[in-house]
Amino acid sequence: MSEVNLVRQLKYCGDSIRIITNAVDLVYDSIEVYQDETGTLDDDGHLFSEYEDGWKDETVGKILDHYCCFIGKNHIIYAEHGDLVRFVQCLTAIETVCGGITNDKD
């Protein structure tokens, strides 16, 4: 999916842009990220607040390294590279690990 097809809507919020994507999360609503004036993307701490009980630091760290992202203050995930597709992939991977999705059959 190209970045153009990934963006559903942009909302301007002061110095940042709220990007509502066509990608969906585990509860089937749009993944939303924020981009500041430098191009840095962040998740506003959403993933940690949603999955704090299932947060797996070591695994999350490996995912962040793979996608060249990092965790900042208040568990906000950042991507300085500004690549929206990669950032959504990173968030989706973390949500999959921390949200309990498995390939196990019942």
Q: What is the pLDDT of residues 40-88, one digit of tens each?
A: 999 999 999 999 998 988 999 999 999 999 999 999 999 999 999 999 9
* Residue 105 domain-assigned (yes or no): no
In a domain, 90, yes or no: yes
Region 5-13 average pLDDT: 92
In a domain, residue 106? The reply is no
**Residue range(s) defining the domain that contains residue 86:** 3-98
pLDDT, residue 25, reads 85
Domain assignment present for residue 73? The answer is yes
In a domain, residue 88? The reply is yes
Assigned domain for 9 exists:
yes
CA distances from 63 to 54, 71, 93, 100 (A): 15, 11, 7, 15
Domain count within the chain: 1
Question: Does 63 fall in a domain?
Answer: yes
What is the per-residue pLDDT for 89?
Answer: 96
- Give the per-residue pLDDT at 106: 47
Residue 103: inside a domain:
no
